[in-house]
A and B are shown apart, each in its own frame.
Chain A
Amino acid sequence: AQTVTQSQPEMSVQEAETVTLSCTYDTSESDYYLFWYKQPPSRQMILVIRQEAYKQQNATENRFSVNFQKAAKSFSLKISDSQLGDAAMYFCAYYSGGGADGLTFGKGTHLIIQP
């Protein structure tokens, strides 16, 4: 079974600074998908960014970018120019793409933005 590990229960960053959230995963498959979701106190899961494993290019969405290291099974999220609205729980998730699996989530990282 696939597992997703987020080793940072909590991270803190000054507003306007850059922060990196770590994620590692374990899989024997070669084709899969990785996601970062944001969950603010309202509890709604919001997609931040996704990465297809067959693509070598790292995904980028405005201030959010990933560092995808397939051989190391690492998928970190970098948030540039941190804003107060970025404060939330961030979950890394894995999807095998086989059609019969949901997302496998890590335990999450609580991101605090200090003004």
Chain B
Amino acid sequence: EAGVAQSPRYKIIEKRQSVAFWCNPISGHATLYWYQQILGQGPKLLIQFQNNGVVDDSQLPKDRFSAERLKGVDSTLKIQPAKLEDSAVYLCASSRTGQGTTQYFGPGTRLLVL
């Protein structure tokens, strides 16, 4: 079974530029999560999708971050415009539907904003 795929693996941009990250979850996983992991900290949930609907985006900075999940499969996370404090690793995870199901993580995208 293929794991969660993410691209790109690394991205360097100037502040105020825009950037997009892509995630392909494990086949059959209805729930998809985006986490932000700042250096030295644990990941923090940004947004959770159930199929193509948003379940929780309470911690997503909506003035600059947006996310979508087309057709309930792939997802993209966009930052526009980027700030220096957005430098982090962005992790995508997926899980089957159901309480307490295990979340499986992708390799992450490391973003550096200069």
Interface residues of chain A, those whose CB is within 8 Å of chain B, are: 4, 32-33, 35, 37, 42-47, 50, 52, 91, 93, 95, 97-108
B105 on the A face (CB < 8 A) = yes
Are the CB atoms of A43 and B100 closer together than 8 Å? Answer: no
Q: A43-B107, A100-B56 are in contact. Are A105 and B43 (CB under 8 A)?
A: yes
* Bound CA span A105–B43, Å: 6
* Bound CA span A17–B55, Å: 44
B89 on the A face (CB < 8 A) = yes
Q: How many residues of B contact A (CB 8 A)?
A: 25
Shortest CB-to-CB span from B90 to chain A, Å, is 10
Chain A residues whose C-beta falls within 8 Å of the C-beta of B35 in the assembled complex: 102-103
Q: Which of B37-73 contact A (CB under 8 A)?
A: 40-45, 48, 50, 55-56
Nearest residue in A to B41 (C-beta to C-beta)? A107
**Which single member of A4, A44, A95 contacts B100 (CB below 8 Å)?**
A95
Chain A residues whose C-beta falls within 8 Å of the C-beta of B44 in the assembled complex: 105
B26 on the A face (CB < 8 A) = no
Interface residues of chain B, those whose CB is within 8 Å of chain A, are: 33, 35, 40-45, 48, 50, 55-56, 89, 91, 93, 99-100, 102-108, 110
Are the CB atoms of B107 and A33 closer together than 8 Å? Answer: no
**Which single member of B42, B100, B110 contacts A33 (CB below 8 Å)?**
B100
Are the CB atoms of B48 and A102 closer together than 8 Å? Answer: yes
Chain B residues whose C-beta falls within 8 Å of the C-beta of A102 in the assembled complex: 33, 35, 45, 48, 56, 93, 103
List 21 contacting pairs A-B, 8 Å CB cutoff, sorted by A.
A32-B100, A33-B99, A33-B100, A43-B108, A43-B110, A45-B43, A45-B91, A46-B105, A47-B103, A52-B100, A91-B43, A99-B50, A99-B99, A100-B55, A101-B56, A102-B103, A103-B45, A105-B44, A107-B40, A107-B42, A108-B41
